[in-house]
Amino acid sequence: MARRKYVVGNWKMNGVSASIAEAQAIFAAADGHPAVEVAICPPFTLIGAMVAAARGAPVGGQDCHSAASGAFTGSIAAPMLADIGASLVIVGHSERREGFGESDADVRAKAEAALAAGLSVILCVGEPREVRESGGAIEFVLTQVAGSVPANVDPARFAIAYEPIWAIGTGLVPTIDDVAAMHGAIRRALSSYGAETAQAVRILYGGSVNGENAAELLGVGDVDGALVGGASLTAAKFVPIVEAAAGL
């Protein structure tokens, strides 16, 4: 089954109003590569302005609360993201799991809330370095998949991002064989949702993706795109990754 490549920029806690110019340059370049879906998830403060500048390209949030509203100071609900024009949201990023103690159940609840609000979801899974070195990476990640993925999955609005925690922002990258093994294992695990769903869900790779390694990583059979951190902040660094995806 042919799956459209999906390249997503996670700006994390970076960007001010002047940064919208970089997003415009990225989306303009992406227009020349219609075979690749390109999205950016900026800080919440920039979503509205980026939606206005994106000319219909998908713009998303980096997290959402599992409740639709309530007394949760500082939190953003999925309906709020939808209301401001976002079309997707990242949930379960390792920086949320590790830094904020989010459990698989928390991530699943957020994914369900986002889907209920009409958003698409990118659900992140990944192992820390000690688990990789102990040989338990695949088991660890498949446990996250089992505990985090909602019961009902629509491949048109749901993707998984595999991000080895030890590779994020470090310059370290798993071997191509390791990436292939993990993505293949995730694909097989999704068979519990039905063979057609398992083949249709896009599985992204995230972890020190750049213009130099993107073609090799995105060329792996079950790698359907990339979730990109630091290299997504400028068109100069992000567009080569989009071009690499387009060339496959």
Per residue in 228-244, pLDDT (tens digit) is 999 999 999 999 999 99
Per residue in 134-155, pLDDT (tens digit) is 999 999 999 999 999 999 999 9
User: What is the percentage of the chain residues whose pLDDT exceeds 70?
Assistant: 100
Question: What is the number of residues in the chain?
Answer: 248
Average pLDDT over residues 192-210: 96
| pLDDT (0 to 100) of residue 172 | 86
22, 163, 183, 243: the catalytic one is: 163
Q: How confident is the model at residue 169 (pLDDT cuts 50, 70, 90)?
A: confident
Q: Could you give the CA distance from residue 231 to residue 101 in angstroms, rounded to a whole number?
A: 26
Element (H, E) at 115: helix 104-116
pLDDT exceeds cutoff 90 at 7: yes
**Chain-wide mean pLDDT for the chain?**
96
Q: What torsion, rounded to 10 degrees, do the Cα atoms 94, 187, 58, 109 define?
A: -50
pLDDT exceeds cutoff 90 at 186: yes
Average pLDDT over residues 86-91: 98
Closest by alpha carbon to 163, among 105, 98, 84, 68?
A: 98
The answer to whether residues 131 and 137 touch, using CB atoms and an 8 Å cutoff, is yes
Average pLDDT over residues 100-115: 98
93, 95, 102, 243: the catalytic one is: 93
Give catalytic status of residue 163 as yes or no: yes
Average pLDDT over residues 218-225: 97
**Candidate from 71-85, 125-139, 165-179, 214-228 with smallest mean pLDDT:** 165-179
Average pLDDT over residues 6-10: 98
Q: Which two tokens stand for residue 175?
A: 């071997």
Give catalytic status of residue 93 as yes or no: yes
The answer to whether residues 155 and 122 touch, using CB atoms and an 8 Å cutoff, is no
Amino acid type, 144:
Q
Q: Which residues pair with 222 in a beta bridge?
A: none
Q: Give this prediction's pTM.
A: 0.97
pLDDT exceeds cutoff 90 at 30: yes
Per residue in 36-65, pLDDT (tens digit) is 999 999 999 999 999 999 989 999 999 999
Q: How confident is the model at residue 1 (pLDDT cuts 50, 70, 90)?
A: low
Q: Which residue has the tokens 């889907």?
A: 115
Residue ranges with strand state E in the chain:
5-10, 36-41, 60-61, 88-91, 120-125, 158-162, 202-205, 225-228
Superfamily of domain 5-222: Aldolase class I (3.20.20.70)
